[in-house]
Amino acid sequence: MLNRKVLCLSLLLVAGLALAGAAADTLTLYTAFDADQALPYIEAFEASHPDIDVEWVRLSSGEVYTRIQAEAANPQASLWFGGSNTSHIAAAKAGLLEPYKESLAWQYIDPVFKDPDGLWIGLYVGYIGIVSNTEFLTEVGAEAPASWADLLKPEFTGEITLAYAFSSGTAYTTLAGMLTAIGSSDVGFDADDEVYVKAFSDQVGQYNTSGSAAATMVGLGEFGVGMVFSHDIIKKAIAPGYPVVMTFPSEGTSYEIGGMALIKGGPELETAKIFYDWAMSKEAQDLYQEFFRVPLNPEAELAEGLVKASDVNVLPIDLIWYGDNKEAMLDKWSEVTGEY
Amino acid sequence: MKLESYRRELRGEIRRLARDPVLLGIVGVTFLLLAVFIVFPLIKVVQHSLWPQGTFQPKYFLDFFQKVYYWRPLVNSLIVGLLVSLCATTVAFVFAYGIARTNIRGKGLFRLIAMMPIVSPPFLIALAAILLLGNHGVITDLLRLDWDIYGLSGLVLTETLAYFPIAFMILEGVLSKIDPSIEEAALDMGASKLRTFFTVTLPLAVPGIASAALLVFIRSLEDFGNPMVIQGRFRVLTVAIYHAAVGRYNLPLGATLAIFMLLPTLMIFVVQKYYVARRSYVTVTGKPSGIGLKSTERHVKIPILIAMCLLSGVILLMYGVVLFGSFTRLWGFDNSLTLANYAYVFAAGGQYIWDTLKIALIATPVGGLLSIMIAYLVVRKRFLGRGTMEFVSMLNFAVPGVVVGIGYILAFNTPPVQITGTALIIILVFIFRRMPVGIRDGIAQLQQIDPAIEEASSSLGAGFFRTFTRVTLPLVAPAFLSGLVYIFVRCMTAISAVIFVISAGWQLLTVALLYEVDQANLAAAAAYGYVIIAIVLSAIVLMRFVVGKLFRGRLAPLRGE
């Protein structure tokens, strides 16, 4: 009776595993932080809240948005931790987020860094930088690109890497900066933008799914030049000691507000609020030192070597507009670049 | 007149089924499962593509032919698929011939090496390719090469290495099972060895070659992991579908692209099925037969041996560099050794390891039993809709993983069967994705067993169930075991369908690995890869031991282990 034996055996195994898997209070969250950066936060949270067990999935911020949209009828997670706030804004517009104006942090934080209805809140700020591999630059005899115009130089053809604008908040923020810096219109595509965006896309050697990958790729020398947030460039390429140099587009660069939000109808909203409050506390925001992000809690410690607003030419980008019009912008981007 | 005889046949059919209620029940349940978990998701894909809001709106369908960025990925996928199919089948044939039909030494070692891409996530090869042949890979720097691995060449190289073992498994089975007395007959009649090879051996192997080539073509077409890592600007359809459905949540577009991925694979599936179906498989009978003919001539052996060594060397190099990479502090820059990457994997991925194991341990026995049962029904039993059952159950063989994935989220996100976000949906994906291989192996095995053996059991008075468990199952033990191993291994290594159905509560190791590669955390990705390999290898050893005990040591050696 072979099949009966196999069946019994597997049932026993399953029962054993099910017993082992029993847990306390759970919080399910989606994070757009890289897995190795999300882990320290989640471990610190679990250490200070031993009764809460955090289950988390790492997705790019565009993917978090689509995941929440897909699950709207039956939400699986309660909190969205990290990622560029253009995706949070798009989700707020789509009615996918739960307001939390009662949080202490929402009361004191600068209005620029929060949703007026409490649908999302800023965790940190970041600026898009250009990371170049110095060995590559020596090899082709080029200066590190330091403007949007430089990026179109022939020596960088096929050597630029960044993420797809639809999957990565980093890349969408880069696109918003590109559109703001080039041409005369403040928002959206004008004729100059179309020409530039097409020419830029033709320079790209590989599009990634996740935004920060480009920093390491350039560090490794797989590609010459990448467009990434400065904190990721410092953390993932400069701090480890890769031969890279960081520059910023002289015409001005774009910035993100790393956001956090409660997911409407999430199964563990009360537990999620505990994490939310903790994530805005000095204790949690101090952890950003390790990753060179600019914390938004004014009491939090800043890392040495951090890039602040005063260090770069930051464009006045209408992040709310770019969040609201994300779908239309992405369609236009596909039309112009031929990439999907 | 014709109608009358058909009616009579139908009545006889129903009477026969009614007399055998066990068979009737099993057939009914099987059909229900196949309808819900194979056919229904496919219907949903078509529905979402052509009737996105309930009305007929083939917008994306028409757009597909007009917008280059929609159809180009399909053309790219087909190019990659054809090249990979050609390369992998050729390589696999040489390898299989060397092992099955020559007397070279070290066959066990060669077989072990050939199996490495099977026991690891296939896209681990892409990771290795970047480490070795990337713009700043070890070999690239050493030989000062100037080539671009990101694109077509990288895809063909990685997928050939990743998928030739599948072809090898099939071809080794086929080549070693060809009845040597047929070849001996040719030789006795004065044909040269070469002539015998081309007029007897090769034609006998053609069905095997065809199914190997088909399988590799489909696996390449549906490959998701390697292109995600190494496609460069050579965009393939699977990644486009993933980005459409998961990246942008444009399900009608994703479903439309999925249809265009499904069409070529279905076409090839049907053609191959009717081609292979005409050829008889019965070469093993209850009667004893001789041992396969082995080529011993040096001019045959030496070139084959060299080719095999070369390929094995490449594979060892690739897995070696990934193993080394998993212990480096900072790959490519600070190559001092550390265990930090493994510590990270167990800290960040500990839960994934458990989740993946739990899912695999449920999907494996259920899928294994279900597939051997369907194979048995199809080969040995006469009942209404037998051909349909075989076709439907084998359908997922031809349906690319991303199509299954998108079909499952479309079909099971709303009642009556609302199971997205659960472990169940992942388990079901694994079972119904992997069943076709178990069924195919089971069918092939059963077709080679003379029904007379079972008839003997029946005529001695044993019923259906007793005959099935006491005679048939032990005889198909190798197929059953390799079915189990296959399902388990794919649970641990597959990504293309399940990436659509994972959730916060249920994550898989392969997905974690893919994210690490995507974020270019190559050392962490390498460590994830070796954790998976370690689990798979220990499971294979354990499973062999357990099933061996159950069969009281009557187990045939596992091919493709």
Task: Annotate B110-137 with b (16+ C-beta within 10 A) or e (fewer).
Answer: bbebbbbbbbbbbbbbbbbbbbbbbbbb
Query: Total structural domains in chain B?
Result: 1
Q: State the CB neighbour count (10 A cutoff) for residue B277.
A: 9
How far does B348 lie from chain A, in Å, by closest CA? 6
Q: Which residue of A has its CA nearest to B370?
A: A3
**Do A327 and A188 belong together in one domain?**
yes
Q: Which residue of A has its CA nearest to B135?
A: A222
Give the span between the Cα atoms of B256 and B49, in whole angstroms: 5
**Do A167 and A191 belong together in one domain?**
yes
> Which tens digit of pLDDT belongs to each residue from A156-172?
999 999 999 888 888 99
Query: Highest mean pLDDT: which of A155-159, B67-71, B331-335, B466-470?
Result: A155-159
Task: From B369, B406, B364, B396, select the one nearest B498 (Cα to Cα).
Answer: B406
* Residue bearing tokens 């090899």: A139
Alpha carbon distance, N-terminus to C-terminus of chain B: 55
For residues B433 and B19, the model is more confident at: B433
Domain of residue B297, residue span: 29-550
Query: Total structural domains in chain A?
Result: 2
Chain A residues inside the 8 Å CB shell of B231: 206
Task: Report CB contact under 8 Å: A35, B507.
Answer: no
Average pLDDT for B2-8 = 74
**Do A187 and A328 belong together in one domain?**
yes
DSSP letter assigned to residue A23: -
Task: Report CB contact under 8 Å: A207, B361.
Answer: no
Helix or strand holding residue B225 (H, E): helix B225-230
Q: Which residue of A has its CA nearest to B473?
A: A2
Q: Is residue B397's pLDDT more than 80?
A: no
Mutate to test the interface with B, among A53, A133, A209 (most CBs of B within 10 A): A209
The answer to whether A246 and A145 are in contact (CB under 8 A) is: no
Write the CB contacts of B311 (distance below 8 Å, at least 6 apart in sequence).
Answer: B91, B95, B114, B164
Predicted local confidence at residue B279, as pLDDT:
57
| Antiparallel, parallel or unpaired: β A204-208 and A244-247 | unpaired
> Which tens digit of pLDDT belongs to each residue from A88-115?
998 998 899 999 988 888 888 888 888 9
Helix or strand holding residue A7 (H, E): helix A2-20
How far does A107 lie from chain B, in Å, by closest CA? 30
Task: Report CB contact under 8 Å: A208, B235.
Answer: no
**Do A324 and A219 belong together in one domain?**
yes
CA A276 remoteness from chain centre: 17
* Residue bearing tokens 């399900």: B251
Mutate to test the interface with A, among B70, B519, B554, B555 (most CBs of A within 10 A): B519
CA B416 remoteness from chain centre: 30
**Of B330, B334, B354, Cβ closest to residue A21:** B354
Task: Report CB contact under 8 Å: B364, A10.
Answer: yes
A245: which strand partners? Answer: A132
**Do A72 and A195 belong together in one domain?**
no
> If 0-12 CB within 10 Å is exposed, 13-18 middle and 19+ buried, where does residue A171 land?
buried
Average pLDDT for A73-85 = 89
Task: From A21, A17, A19, A9, select the one nearest B368 (Cα to Cα).
Answer: A9
**Of B150, B333, B414, Cβ closest to residue A205:** B150
Query: Highest mean pLDDT: which of A205-214, B286-295, B440-449?
Result: A205-214
Chain A residues inside the 8 Å CB shell of B136: 220-222
**Do A196 and A221 belong together in one domain?**
yes
List the CATH number of the domain containing B106.
Answer: 1.10.3720.10
Mutate to test the interface with A, among B74, B248, B250 (most CBs of A within 10 A): B248
Residue B503 domain-assigned? yes
**Do A116 and A246 belong together in one domain?**
no
ipTM above 0.95, yes or no: no
Tokens of B59: 């917008």
Residue B324 domain-assigned? yes
Give the span between the Cα atoms of A109 and A250, in whole angstroms: 30
CA A113 remoteness from chain centre: 16
Task: Report CB contact under 8 Å: B247, A69.
Answer: no
Task: Report CB contact under 8 Å: A166, B358.
Answer: no
Q: Which residue of A has its CA nearest to B364?
A: A10
Predicted local confidence at residue B1, as pLDDT:
53
* Residue bearing tokens 């190019």: B79
List the CATH number of the domain containing A139.
Answer: 3.40.190.10
**Of B332, B368, B505, Cβ closest to residue A55:** B505
Q: Is B337 helix (H, G, I), strand (E, B) or coil?
A: strand
Give the span between the Cα atoms of A283 and B31, in whole angstroms: 58
Q: Is residue B552's pLDDT more than 60?
A: no
Residue A12 domain-assigned? no
Mean pLDDT rounded to a whole number for chain B = 82
Predicted local confidence at residue B290, as pLDDT:
45
Task: Report CB contact under 8 Å: A70, B249.
Answer: yes
How far does B182 lie from chain A, in Å, by closest CA? 36
Mean pLDDT rounded to a whole number for chain A = 86
Residue B506 domain-assigned? yes
Chain A residues inside the 8 Å CB shell of B130: 222
* Residue bearing tokens 């790393």: A258
How far does A121 lie from chain B, in Å, by closest CA? 22
The answer to whether B323 and B526 are in contact (CB under 8 A) is: yes
Alpha carbon distance, N-terminus to C-terminus of chain A: 54
The answer to whether A198 and A108 are in contact (CB under 8 A) is: no
Q: Is residue B559's pLDDT more than 50?
A: no
How far does A29 lie from chain B, in Å, by closest CA? 7
Residue A41 domain-assigned? yes
Percentage above 90 pLDDT, chain B = 15
Residue A18 domain-assigned? no
| Antiparallel, parallel or unpaired: β A121-133 and B334-337 | unpaired
The answer to whether A209 and A163 are in contact (CB under 8 A) is: yes
Residue B101 domain-assigned? yes
Q: Which residue of B has its CA nearest to A135?
A: B136
Q: Is residue B280's pLDDT more than 60?
A: no
Write the CB contacts of A325 (distance below 8 Å, at least 6 apart in sequence).
Answer: A187, A188
The answer to whether B534 and B346 are in contact (CB under 8 A) is: no
Chain A to chain B Cβ contacts (< 8 Å): 172
**Do A206 and A266 belong together in one domain?**
no
Residue B558 domain-assigned? no
Residue B560 domain-assigned? no
Give the span between the Cα atoms of A87 and A163, in whole angstroms: 15
The answer to whether A226 and A136 are in contact (CB under 8 A) is: no
Domain of residue A98, residue span: 24-124+257-306
pLDDT band for position A280 (50/70/90)?
A: very high
Q: Is residue A68's pLDDT more than 70?
A: yes
Q: Is residue B471's pLDDT more than 90?
A: no
Residue A262 domain-assigned? yes
Residue A5 domain-assigned? no
* One-letter-per-residue 3-state SS of B395-444: HHHHCCHHHHHHHHHHHCCCCCCCCCCCHHHHHHHHHHHHHHHHHHHHHH
Give the span between the Cα atoms of A233 and B367, in whole angstroms: 46
Q: Which residue of B has its CA nearest to A240?
A: B330
> Which tens digit of pLDDT belongs to each residue from B156-205?
999 999 999 889 988 888 888 777 777 788 888 888 878 888 888 888 88
Give the span between the Cα atoms of B438 and B476, in whole angstroms: 11
The answer to whether B427 and B363 are in contact (CB under 8 A) is: yes
**Of A76, A213, A339, Cβ closest to residue B519:** A213
Percentage above 70 pLDDT, chain A = 93
**Do A230 and A102 belong together in one domain?**
no
Residue A243 domain-assigned? yes
Predicted local confidence at residue A312, as pLDDT:
85
**Of B233, B347, B474, Cβ closest to residue A39:** B347
User: What is the residue type of B546?
Assistant: V
Give the span between the Cα atoms of A5 and B369, in whole angstroms: 12
**Do A116 and A162 belong together in one domain?**
no
Residue A162 domain-assigned? yes
Chain B residues inside the 8 Å CB shell of A200: none
Residue B15 domain-assigned? no
The answer to whether A337 and A199 are in contact (CB under 8 A) is: no
Predicted local confidence at residue A95, as pLDDT:
92
Predicted local confidence at residue A16, as pLDDT:
45
pLDDT band for position B553 (50/70/90)?
A: very low
Task: Report CB contact under 8 Å: A221, B246.
Answer: no
Residue A271 domain-assigned? yes
Write the CB contacts of B231 (distance below 8 Å, at least 6 apart in sequence).
Answer: A206, B150, B151, B154, B155, B239
Q: Which residue of A has its CA nearest to B68?
A: A338
Give the span between the Cα atoms of A207 and A339, in whole angstroms: 10
How far does B519 lie from chain A, in Å, by closest CA? 4
Predicted local confidence at residue B90, as pLDDT:
94
C-alpha neighbours within 13 Å on the C-beta side of residue B198: 4
Residue B24 domain-assigned? no
Q: How far is CA A126 from CA A58, A83, A133, in A?
A: 19, 11, 21
CA B294 remoteness from chain centre: 29
Q: Which residue of B has its CA nearest to A5?
A: B550
pTM recorded for the entire structure: 0.81
Longest dimension (CA), chain B: 84
Write the CB contacts of B492 (distance below 8 Å, at least 6 apart in sequence).
Answer: B121, B356, B360, B509, B510, B532, B535, B536, B539
Chain A residues inside the 8 Å CB shell of B414: 73
Tokens of B466: 């007793």
> Which tens digit of pLDDT belongs to each residue from A169-191?
889 999 999 999 887 777 888 88
Q: Tell me the H-state helices in B420-521.
A: 423-447, 451-459, 464-467, 473-475, 477-493, 509-518
Task: Report CB contact under 8 Å: A208, B69.
Answer: no
User: Would you put residue A95 in left (φ > 0), alpha (ψ -120 to 50) or beta?
Assistant: left
**Of A55, A63, A216, Cβ closest to residue B246:** A63
**Of B334, B469, B550, Cβ closest to residue A241:** B334
The length of chain A is 340
Q: Is residue A23's pLDDT more than 50?
A: no
Q: Is residue A318's pLDDT more than 50?
A: yes
**Do A182 and A229 belong together in one domain?**
yes
Q: Which of A278-282, B349-353, B466-470, B554-558 has the lowest mean pLDDT?
A: B554-558
Chain A residues inside the 8 Å CB shell of B235: 339-340
**Of A74, A205, A340, Cβ closest to residue B240:** A340
